[in-house]
Amino acid sequence: MNPKVKEALDKSLALIESSVDPNKTYLEIFGKGGIFTVLAGEIKNIEPQNRAAFGRDLNSAKSQIEQALHIKRSSLVVSRSSGFIDITAPGKKQKIGHLHLVSQAIEEIVGIFTKIGFSLQSYPEVDWDWYAFESLNMPKNHPARDDWETFFVKAPASSRYGNQVLTPHTSNGQVREMERVKTFTPRSPKGEVGPIRMLNIARCYRRQIDVSHTPMFHQFEGLYVDKNVSIPELKGTFDFFTTNFFGPKRVTRLRPHHFRFTEPSFEVDVTCGVCLGKGCRICKSGWLELGGAGMVHPNVLKAGGIDPQKYSGFAFGWGIERTIAMKTELPDIRLFYQNDLRFLEQF
């Protein structure tokens, strides 16, 4: 390599090595009056037979300098990102998660019912056929006990309780709660038991899926058993819940229906949140079906060891996802379980 080119190359590489601003160093080397620019201007003074070799040396030196500048720029970016901290810069906002919409609703529902004396209990999601159906006055040939309606567990059957099932409703907790209260509540000489105010919230399973059903869903079950329990108390409980959960402008109504485990039985409707009972394209009539309820059937009380001649009660069971959908005007409850952050982050 030409001695002058070698000298300029070494000087340029030394500048790059000590540089803290590669852009400024680039101008010192290649800018007007720069080391390399001045050297390149001397090519006219080189003897013609030596100009080609001088040009090749210049190009080789230029390539080495540009490569060194690239490496320097990269090293400065890495060192600044890993070692430099600007304590005056605003901090990055920490992403904080939140409860799923269903979990939020469960907390709200529990808070409402505990205000009127209900206590939260927990009963099996995998239970015996007897607790899920037979104790609730549902005969063995009832359609709900068909393989196409209920998930049966492949396990040895019990001679007393039958097969195991994934509970299709939280009503399996009714008789279990009666048994628990009779076992643990101190009884007077007359054999009386304390009042039952149970709230059972759990996952349920049915072989259905569409815009208003999912194979797994959540229900909350209420059970109140005491002396002289009446339908007005049932209606008052629903009105209290509706006012607190949906808002003061929405009311409930009881519509006669038939359930095996209650008599009389009702469908509970709530006024539409869009039209507030006037009728619209969503509700058609001004009302939306909330869930089922009724006075506990005497046979269910007997299955729980409670005398229906002395005690009465009411029970209700509603899907939490459907209840949320009526509050938020959600068109498809399958959205709850599709893990779409665009949906979940709205709540």
Each domain of the chain, given as residue ranges in start order, spans: 3-80, 101-344
Confidence band of 341 (pLDDT split at 50, 70, 90): confident
Asked whether 161 and 70 are in contact (CB, 8 A), the reply is: no
**pLDDT beyond 70 at 188:** no
Asked whether 130 and 162 are in contact (CB, 8 A), the reply is: yes
pTM comes to 0.67
Strands 196-205 and 252-259 turn out to be: unpaired
Dist. CA 253–CA 290, nearest whole Å: 10
Confidence band of 145 (pLDDT split at 50, 70, 90): low
In terms of CATH, what superfamily is 101-344?
Answer: Bira Bifunctional Protein; Domain 2 (3.30.930.10)
Query: Per residue in 116-136, pLDDT tens?
Result: 999 999 999 999 999 999 899
* More confident: 294 or 94: 294
* More confident: 317 or 207: 317
Query: Per residue in 218-232, pLDDT tens?
Result: 999 999 999 999 999
Q: Which long-range contacts (CB under 8 A, 24 or more apart) does 122-125 make?
A: 122/200, 122/201, 122/202, 123/170, 123/172, 123/173, 123/176, 123/177, 123/200, 123/202, 124/167, 124/172, 125/166, 125/167, 125/202, 125/203, 125/204, 125/205
Asked whether 297 and 260 are in contact (CB, 8 A), the reply is: yes
Coil, helix or strand at residue 340: coil
What confidence score (pLDDT) does residue 32 get?
Answer: 80
Confidence band of 140 (pLDDT split at 50, 70, 90): confident
Query: Per residue in 247-284, pLDDT tens?
Result: 888 888 899 998 888 999 999 988 887 777 787 766 77
Dist. CA 8–CA 59, nearest whole Å: 12
Report CA-CA distances (Å) from 207 to 12, 102, 157, 169, 241.
77, 20, 21, 12, 29
Dist. CA 69–CA 55, nearest whole Å: 21
Q: What's the chain's length in residues?
A: 347
103 phi-psi bin (left φ>0, alpha ψ -120 to 50, beta other):
alpha
Dist. CA 330–CA 321, nearest whole Å: 10
